[in-house]
Amino acid sequence: MKNPPLTTKEFDVCVVGSGAGGGPIAYELSKAGYKVAIIEKGGWFTEQDFKKDEMLPRRNIFQSKLEQEPHVLESPDGDGGWDKENTSDFWGGNVVGGASNFMSGYFHRLKPIDFRLLSEFGSIEGANIVDWPISYEDLEPYYTKVEQVIGVSGKIVKHPFLEPRSTKDYPFPPTAEHPVANWFDKAAKGLDFHPFPMARAVLSQPFNDRNSCEYSGYCGSYGCHSGAKGSSRAALLDHAVKTGNLEVITYAKAYHINTDQKGNATSVDYFDKNGTSHRVKAKVISIACYSIESSRLLLSSTGPKHPDGIGNRYLQIGKNLHCCAGGTGHGIFDLSKLSESDASALKVRGPFFNRALQDWYVIDDKKAFDKKVKGGTIDFVFDPPSPTAEANALKWDDDNNLVWGSAFKQKLKSHFTQSRDFKFEVFCDWLPTDDCNISLSSAVKDKWGMPSANVKVGFHPHDLKVAQYVVNKGVQVMKQMGAKEYYGNAFTAPTSNLIAGGLRFGNDAKTSALDKDCRVHGTDNLFVTDGSFMPNGGSVTPTWTIYANSFRVADKIKQQLGANAI
């Protein structure tokens, strides 16, 4: 039994987690005059704390340590069994603003078809596919709100899978364009594909006390030095605290949600950085601490009406987790074989390469599939410069022999001065199955003595087939552009920074964890607003949808609270 809380504070709303799921709740409710507390396990860092140094990746500074907070990863062993290992890969960022500080900011909306996966494509044996309890039209105004409040830069270009919009274009013009973009467009159109500029949650112009992008070349996996990136902290919480209605409690580990005899949430207990327990009481509690940790917190929070964890009467807590299926590929260009202008264009560092293809968002290819299937998105990118890591990888040849001396020097020269690597990333739906879920570990605990999350990540073979189909299209583009080498691979490993589900919403408590307003079944005042609610991830990165849904739920909470502020 833990020691009783040393202190208790009262608020209208308590939000656990401050990322893309928690930030909009705190922002909207504090602006509306309600007293709000955020419980955040990490610290408050600002633009001055984010260094563009490849030797200091986010996991060493802003993520939990393996020896202190392990997750147990359970993955297929290839022989029909399961391997278990402790990992820290699933910590997206323990810092105010969460993983949104370190995102690349590739922003795609879901499309109407993503909300009707079962109706549009039918069932697939072994997959728990469902339609959403809301429609694209319900979420569209909130996608628009994210563009305006978080700040999305881009340009609308019509293409076969462009989703319906209530506005003609993005509120901010596109970020600076890489000179290779026109070369890419010509190659893609030569294949009868439909390239379009990719929107970014990165400011191209100063806005709301934030500077525009500095184009340092270090974006994804790095904190933003200018404040241009639309992190929850920079875009929302910096402004929410100025209302005087928001208190952000940092270095606070939430470990138990308390409930009353009716099953409703009454308070949240947390440990401070010294391990002392404290309590926050609130009329409404909103959980947004990433899919894995949100499920873990609910499973850990037993009470009179919730003996197996809050909302777990029908054992839906932690079920139907999904990652992001897909793959990656590369085109390696020999600069000595290109024209001087093309070689110079490829050498440019800094501007984003904002291009994507969605020609196969729905695949209707009878040679490859028996029926029409959900496909994917390809984003084309340049990775941040990482010369130390790249040089280290060059130490070995294809036969795993050490390369050294003059041979190694020549290899370094060739890599850094005579070639350029152009990358693409594929995003497809990871079908929810019974073999992808979250439970509490019976053997591993964190530094506070709490059971760690056991993350089981079984995948459906259909995902791999779809991903490889789309990867092959990306390789085709690289070949068309004239790459010396071109290749791509689909993957089955979970994408640790793109996990969603686990607490999906729906109309039936027997098959879902949350109602359509993201309220935990069996409670009146406990909400979940991170990516846990999503029945499927869509064939895009989920951050924009998480932001949009959190703004939607904030409106529901305001309606529920009415004028009953402290």
Hunting for tokens 């007293």 — which residue is that? 35
Q: How crowded is residue 362: how many other Cβ atoms within 10 Å of its Cβ?
A: 18
Closest to 322 (Cα-Cα) out of 431, 427, 428:
431
According to the model, what pLDDT value does residue 537 have?
A: 92
Amino acid letter at 409? K
pTM for this entry: 0.95
**Exposed e or buried b for every residue in 286-315, given b needs 16+ CB within 10 A?**
bbbbbbbbbbbbbbbbbbebbeebbbbbbe
For range 278-302, the mean pLDDT: 97
Tell whether the torsion through CA atoms of 112, 118, 119 and 125 is positive or negative.
Answer: positive
d(CA 225, CA 504): 35
In the three-class reduction of DSSP (H, G, I as helix; E, B as strand; rest coil), residue 443 is classed as strand
pLDDT at residue 415 in the model: 66
Structure confidence by residue, pLDDT tens digits, 10-25: 999 999 999 999 999 9
How sure is the predictor about 60, in pLDDT bands with cuts at 50, 70 and 90? low
Nearest CA-CA partner of 320 in 64, 123, 107, 503:
503
Q: Judge whether residue 112 has pLDDT over 50.
A: yes
The predicted pLDDT at position 287 comes to: 98
**In terms of pLDDT, which residue wins out, 153 or 339?**
153
Given this model, what pLDDT does residue 1 score? 45
Q: Considering only CA atoms, which of 424, 431, 536 is closest in space to residue 471?
A: 424
Are 4 and 271 a contacting pair, CB within 8 Å? Answer: no
Separation CA 382–CA 353 (nearest Å): 7
Mean pLDDT of the chain: 92
Domains within the chain, CATH numbers bracketed:
8-47+59-64+93-157+168-561 (3.50.50.60)
Give start and end residues of each alpha helix (H) in 348-404.
387-393
Average pLDDT of span 261-288: 97
pLDDT at residue 123 tops 70: yes
| Of 511, 553, 508, the residue nearest 285 (C-alpha) | 553
- Give the mean model confidence (pLDDT) for residues 395-401: 77
DSSP strands (E only) in 188-300:
196-197, 199-200, 246-249, 253-259, 265-271, 277-287
d(CA 511, CA 320): 10
User: Mean pLDDT lowest for which of 152-156, 319-323, 402-406, 459-463?
Assistant: 402-406
Q: How far apart are alpha carbons 174 and 448 in whole angstroms? A: 46
Question: 44-53, 156-165, 262-271: which range is least confident on average?
Answer: 44-53
- % of the chain surpassing 70 pLDDT: 96
Closest CA to 134 of 530, 504, 558: 504
**Model confidence at 564: pLDDT above 70:** no
The pLDDT value recorded for residue 65 is 85
- Helix (H) and strand (E) counts in the chain: 13, 23
* pLDDT at position 270 over 80: yes
Q: How far apart are CA 1 and CA 236, in angstroms?
A: 37
pLDDT, mean of residues 275-298: 97
pLDDT of residue 311: 97
Do residues 498 and 324 lie in contact, with contact meaning Cβ atoms separated by under 8 Å?
yes
Residue 65 vs residue 476, higher pLDDT:
476
pLDDT tens per residue across span 502-528 = 999 999 999 999 999 999 999 999 999
Question: In this structure, are residues 472 and 139 in contact, taking their beta carbons and an 8 Å threshold?
Answer: no
Q: How many CB atoms lie within 10 A of CB 374?
A: 23
Average pLDDT on 548-563 reads 95
Q: Residue 391: pLDDT band by 50, 70, 90 thresholds?
A: confident
Q: pLDDT (tens digit, 9 = 90+) per residue, 196-225? A: 999 999 999 999 999 999 988 888 888 898
Return the closest-CA partner of residue 53 out of 512, 300, 385: 385
Among candidate residues 178, 155, 175, the one with its CA nearest the CA of residue 167: 155
pLDDT at residue 327, rounded to an integer: 95
Confidence of residue 411 (pLDDT cuts 50, 70, 90): low
Mind listing the pLDDT tens digit for each residue in 347-388?
Answer: 888 888 889 999 999 999 999 999 999 999 999 988 777 777
Which of 73-82, 118-127, 277-286, 401-410 is predicted with the least confidence, judged by mean pLDDT? Answer: 401-410
Q: Give bridge partners of residue 208 from the DSSP assignment.
A: none
Q: What distance in Å separates the CA atoms of residue 466 and residue 374, rounded to the nearest whole number? A: 8
Question: What is the arithmetic mean of pLDDT over 411-438?
Answer: 86
Residues with Cβ < 8 Å from 391, sequence gap 6 or more? 412, 415
Q: Which two tokens stand for residue 181?
A: 């973009």
- What kind and span of H or E run contains 373? strand 373-374
* DSSP assigned state of 296: H
Phi, psi values for residue 525, rounded to 5°:
-140, 20
Quote the Cα angle for 156-23-323, to 5°: 70
Both tokens assigned to 397: 């040849």
Cβ atoms of residues 532 and 500 within 8 Å: yes
